[in-house]
Amino acid sequence: MPAPVDHDARRRDVSEAVWRVLAAHGFGGLTLRAVAAEMGCSTGLLTHYFPSKRALVRHALEIADERTRTRARRTPPEEGLPALRAALLDVLCLSPKDVAMNRVWVSSWDRALGDPELGAAQTERYARWRAALRPHAEAAIRLGRLPAVDPDDVVATVAAFAHGLVVQALFDPARFPPERQTALLDAFLSTLANPPES
Amino acid sequence: MPAPVDHDARRRDVSEAVWRVLAAHGFGGLTLRAVAAEMGCSTGLLTHYFPSKRALVRHALEIADERTRTRARRTPPEEGLPALRAALLDVLCLSPKDVAMNRVWVSSWDRALGDPELGAAQTERYARWRAALRPHAEAAIRLGRLPAVDPDDVVATVAAFAHGLVVQALFDPARFPPERQTALLDAFLSTLANPPES
């Protein structure tokens, strides 16, 4: 009885093809035709999965969320600043996989800004990310490694820095190789931090 | 002989309509049909100006560049950190006009990531922006207001912070009103700076 297995495998194939189209062409290039070409199938077959462009975009965002949620992360080191650093390193463009992931997310902002429902989802996504960073900021403050400022401001600031660096690195990988991104992050975190001797 | 005037006026009308579509729907919503609806004309008329989707996108980017180049800027205050602050305030989402401008640029990143020619133009745009910020960083270092680090690293860092804050503010204006953006920028710049007494 191979049918259910085939069905799941086909769904995985479709998702893989959607992801490859996204990573290569962004949301602006995400069409049923492009996904069909990537799979070597007819667009007719795909309309079974995606009755509309909107359904395709929504599925693409689900894949991106799923891949973000389940991606390999650095083992959390010591709490506070080192854990914050590790969480920020996790979002920079340090490997080809990171580049593909960030390329997809940055590209999704166009859709999200033009669609209230997708925009609200992106607002929530940002709020969740900042909430995930917050315990590290709180621990760093408690441990005396960051000044006693509002942790919400710390996470907004480090999230801003990390995403702004991601965008620059996507458009200029030669000027922003992984080593430079890491060095910029470390220099940035050390300016935020209290001097070690304090 | 009103013909040449009419022609210019029509071009301006077209550009205005393209801008309004961009500000409302981003590049993902930029179609001949949407521009025609905005102008209350036929798409046929517009094909005279834009023989292809690509021509429309290119014109939209020219408008965005022109509007960015000619927009009102803060009067440059005292050189160094104050001038750097003013230049960064110029890019935050502090007014409805700023929001529209940033919305268009952030939305354009999807197109630019998917098209080598547009991508190269965006790489150059970033390089020009950092080059424009650089004299302020150099002056701040010379005046002892910033530590003697590489000015290229300073401008990459402040550009990252500013753009990352712009994106968060676009998706969450309630959490990032103008006063908070300004306060976050000031706190960020003060962590970069040498203490005033040094």
Query: Does residue A150 belong to the interface with chain B, where contact is any CB pair within 8 Å?
Result: no
d(C-alpha A88, C-alpha A168), whole Å: 15
CB pairs under 8 A between A and B: 144
* DSSP, residue by residue, A31-95: -HHHHHHHHTS-HHHHHTT-SSHHHHHHHHHHHHHHHHHHS--PPP-STTHHHHHHHHHTTSS-S
Inter-chain residue contact A122 with B27, CB threshold 8 Å: no
Query: Does residue A182 belong to the interface with chain B, where contact is any CB pair within 8 Å?
Result: no
For residue B190, list chain A residues with Cβ-Cβ distance below 8 A: none
Helix (H) or strand (E) holding B144: none
For B185, name the nearest residue in chain A, comparing CA atoms only: A157
Residue B53: pLDDT band by 50, 70, 90 thresholds? Answer: confident
Angle, alpha carbons A81-A86-A92 (nearest 5°): 125
A134 has pLDDT over 70: yes
Query: Does residue B192 belong to the interface with chain A, where contact is any CB pair within 8 Å?
Result: yes
Give tens-digit pLDDT for A102-131: 999 999 999 999 889 999 999 999 999 999
Is-contact B56 B30, C-beta < 8 A? yes
Helix (H) or strand (E) holding A134: helix A116-142
- The Cα of A100 is separated from the nearest Cα of chain B by a number of Å equal to 11
Give percent of chain B with pLDDT exceeding 70. Answer: 95
pLDDT at position B3 is 53
Q: Which residues contact A84 (CB under 8 A, 6 or more apart)?
A: A133, A136, A137, A140, A158, A189
| Average pLDDT of the segment spanning A161-178 | 98
- The Cα of B12 is separated from the nearest Cα of chain A by a number of Å equal to 24
A39-53, A57-71, A182-196, B127-141: which is most confident: B127-141
* Interface pTM, i.e. ipTM: 0.92
Give percent of chain A with pLDDT exceeding 90. Answer: 77
Inter-chain residue contact B188 with A111, CB threshold 8 Å: no
pLDDT at position A4 is 54
Show the tokens assigned to A144.
């005396």
User: Which range, of A152-156, A168-172, B51-55, averages the lowest pLDDT?
Assistant: B51-55
A173: exposed, middle or buried (Cβ count in 10 Å: 0-12, 13-18, 19+): middle
Query: Does residue B191 belong to the interface with chain A, where contact is any CB pair within 8 Å?
Result: yes
For residue A109, list chain B residues with Cβ-Cβ distance below 8 A: 106-107, 109-110, 167, 170-171
Q: Closest by alpha carbon to B152, among A131, A146, A187, A158?
A: A187
Inter-chain residue contact B111 with A25, CB threshold 8 Å: no
pLDDT at position B166 is 98
Instruction: Identify the structural domains of chain B with CATH numbers, from first to last.
Output: 3-67 (1.10.10.60), 73-192 (1.10.357.10)
Higher pLDDT, B80 or B75: B80
Q: Which residues contact A180 (CB under 8 A, 6 or more apart)?
A: none
Give tens-digit pLDDT for B96-122: 999 999 999 999 999 999 889 999 999
Query: Does residue A173 belong to the interface with chain B, where contact is any CB pair within 8 Å?
Result: no
For residue A156, list chain B residues with Cβ-Cβ distance below 8 A: 165, 168, 176, 184
